[in-house]
Amino acid sequence: MSTQEKLISHVMKEEPIGCRNKVTVVGVGMVGMASAISILLKDLCDELALVDVMEDKLKGEAMDLQHGALFLKTHKIVADKDYSVTANSKVVVVTAGARQQEGESRLNLVQRNVNIFKFIIPNIVKYSPNCILLVVSNPVDILTYVAWKLSGFPRHRVIGSGTNLDSARFRHLMGEKFHLHPASCHGWIIGEHGDSSVAVWSGVNIAGVSLQSLNPKMGADGDSENWKDVHKKVVDGAYEVIKLKGYTSWAIGMSVADLVESIMKNLHKVHPVSTLVQGMHGVKDEVFLSIPCVLGNSGLTDVIHMTLKPEEETQLVKSAETLWGVQKELTL
């Protein structure tokens, strides 16, 4: 008898059930791994699968995470180039694709990333036909549309990480201004995750006190507090970090874990994420933009109707038109 047989007797007669709360991360670059470590440290899944095309890097990352198993509550961490390893995932986080170089706009990455998605999405769907897709790769709004088209999933199961991060950056800057924790500073950035995102000034509040009611010029020219600059810092945020350290990872990783938490724990929390906005706020085209959405274990089940000013709606329609302009040129 081996040591194992002397030590342990197997008593369960049926097949083991296996994982019930599996998360897959596609792409083990900086964003993928930051998402993975954030998800692991928040104890959100009982199995984590990693997929990528670079086999050595993939194996190395999986080993490095497994070596930390003593400190984690995720018993099974697997990785393979073959998508069969992702079977039965509840949530699949897609971070694969090219990233912005210094000074490059997210929209520039489109065609390269569409081609990558044409390989990835069908493979994900094949092995996890009931999963929720969380798209992070940029330009996220367009790629969420692409993932939706390629997967054939209903719209409530295809979510783009969208402006969840922009709103977090905005709330961080608000927190710095008022010496408060960002969780107590409320503000929503919606629309495109990128240069034309929309800051909804009317909603910015602390303890329910609308800051715009205290400062009616908020966000406009002639605003003595220059809130427009705060929004500009949010838009420039990613470019600045990329210029300093070459890429961004930690903030987007934590933002992804935040979304995965709401889904896995069925929280029904409201997050600004990218969803199909056709028919809302005057948007006519089939585009994905970020608006406040309710996330739970079925996915994106409801959207919140914001009361937007005419200028804000115009900006959204303009974003939608820009995105549609790019989308209609794509070969899917």
Partner 1 sequence: MLITWWYLYLAARSVAEQTLRMASVLQKLITPLFTGTPEPPRNKVTVVGVGQVGMACAVSILLRELADELALVDVLEDKLKGEMMDLQHGSLFLKTPKIVADKDYSVTANSRIVVVTAGVRQQEGESRLNLVQRNVNIFKHIIPQIVRYSPDCIIIVVSNPVDVLTYVTWKLSGLPKHRVIGSGTNLDSARFRFLMADKLGIHSSSFNGWILGEHGDTSVPVWSGTNVAGVSLQTLNPNIGTDFDEENWKETHKMVVDSAYEVIKLKGYTNWAIGLSVADLTESLMRNMNRIHPVSTMVQGMYGIGDEVYLSLPCVLNSGGVASVVNMTLTDEEVAQVQASANALWDIQRDLRDI
Whether 30 has a binding-site annotation, put simply, is: yes
Contact 192, 291 (CB under 8 A): no
Minimum distance of partner 1 from residue 138's CB (angstroms) = 16
Task: Choose the catalytic residue: 193, 231, 271, 281.
Answer: 193
Nearest CB to partner 1, comparing residues 207 and 331: 207
**Residue 305 bears catalytic tag:** no
Nearest CB to partner 1, comparing residues 12 and 329: 12
Minimum distance of partner 1 from residue 6's CB (angstroms) = 5
Cα four-point dihedral sign 237, 239, 240, 242: positive
Whether 283 has a binding-site annotation, put simply, is: no
Nearest CB to partner 1, comparing residues 231 and 281: 231
Tokens, residue 194: 């990128």
Burial 248-283 (b: 16+ CB within 10 A, else e): bbebbbbbbbbbbbbbbeeeeebbbbbbbbeebbeb
- Residue ranges in contact with partner 1 by CB under 8 A: 2-4, 6-8, 33-34, 37-38, 41-42, 56-57, 59-61, 63-72, 75, 165, 168-169, 171-172, 175, 178, 181-183, 206, 209, 211, 214-215, 224-225, 237, 240-246, 248-251, 253-255, 257-258
Whether 137 has a binding-site annotation, put simply, is: yes
Minimum distance of partner 1 from residue 238's CB (angstroms) = 9
Judging by DSSP bridges, how do beta strands 158-160 and 185-186 pair with one another? unpaired
| 233: enclosing H helix or E strand | helix 227-245
In this structure, what is the dihedral angle of CA atoms 161, 162, 166, 171, given to the nearest 10 degrees? -70
Whether 60 has a binding-site annotation, put simply, is: no
Minimum distance of partner 1 from residue 236's CB (angstroms) = 11
Residue with tokens 């086999």: 55
283 by DSSP, 3-state: which?
A: coil
Contact 52, 28 (CB under 8 A): yes
Whether 306 has a binding-site annotation, put simply, is: no
Nearest CB to partner 1, comparing residues 74 and 89: 74
Cα four-point dihedral sign 190, 104, 26, 114: positive
- Which residues belong to the annotated binding site for NAD(+)? 27-32, 52, 113, 136-138
Show which residues are catalytic. 193
Detail the residues annotated as belonging to a binding site. Answer: 27-32, 52, 113, 136-138
